[in-house]
């Protein structure tokens, strides 16, 4: 007899599939001019991150990053 089995649920077929978001971001930029970027992206320099942060705050408000802490 084998060990305990994980619970089975009929809802498991409804669970989304995890995708690699990077190709989707590239397509969005190349096809539609939509840029999706994190202010924490290591590929950006400090001034670039600040520019992204300023643009985001101008367009969408301060959001969840209030208080200067990550979370």
Distance between CA atoms of residues 71 and 68, nearest Å = 9
Distance between CA atoms of residues 70 and 47, nearest Å = 18
pLDDT tens-digit profile, the chain (71 residues):
577 777 777 777 777 788 899 999 999 999 999 999 999 999 999 999 999 999 999 999 997 655 554 44
pLDDT at position 10? 76
Distance between CA atoms of residues 36 and 26, nearest Å = 9
Distance between CA atoms of residues 49 and 38, nearest Å = 8
């Amino acid at each position: 007899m084998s060990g305990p089995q994980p619970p089975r649920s009929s809802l498991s077929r409804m669970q989304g599939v995890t995708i690699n978001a990077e190709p989707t971001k590239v397509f969005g930029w190349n096809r539609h001019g939509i840029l999706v970027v994190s202010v924490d992206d290591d590929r950006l320099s400090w001034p670039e991150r600040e520019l992204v942060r300023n643009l985001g705050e101008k367009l969408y408000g301060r959001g969840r990053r209030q208080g200067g802490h990550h979370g």
